[in-house]
């Protein structure tokens, strides 16, 4: 069952973009709304995908997991940083 469409989005576009979108929607045999929504959804998902998930091979996953399990250790620079008084 499709979600109830209760929100409206109004945009201003150049006439050349309007013609392009309408030709593309017609070629895809979709309404202009269907074409624009699906196109925007696909781009949004691609843009956000690398910020929410990543794919690793078995070898890469093993190296990543090992790196997470290792102690970070301490360096003299970090010790010195925490010894400094807090700036006011």
Residue 50 falls inside a structural domain? yes
* Rounded Cα gap, residues 9 and 4, in angstroms: 15
pLDDT at 1: 59
Q: Which 3-state string (H, E, C) describes 19-80?
A: HHHHHHHHHCCCCHHHHHHHHHHHHHHHHHHHHHCCCCCHHHHHHHHHHHHCCCCCCHHHHH
Residue 2 falls inside a structural domain? no
**What is the value of pTM for the model shown?**
0.56
- Domain ranges, residue 26: 15-83
Cβ atoms < 10 Å from Cβ of 26: 12
> What's the pLDDT band for 12 if we cut at 50, 70, 90?
very high
Compare 40 and 78 and report the one with higher pLDDT. 40
Residue 6 falls inside a structural domain? no
- Please state the domain count of the chain: 1
């Amino acid at each position: 069952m499709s979600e109830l469409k209760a929100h409206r989005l109004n945009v201003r576009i150049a006439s050349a973009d309007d013609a392009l979108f309408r030709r593309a929607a017609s070629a895809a045999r979709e309404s202009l709304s269907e074409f624009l929504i699906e196109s925007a959804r696909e781009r949004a998902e691609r843009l956000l995908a690398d910020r929410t998930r990543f794919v690793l091979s078995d070898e890469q996953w093993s190296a990543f997991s090992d790196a997470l399990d290792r102690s970070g250790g301490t360096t003299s620079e970090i010790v010195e940083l925490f010894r400094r008084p807090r700036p006011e």
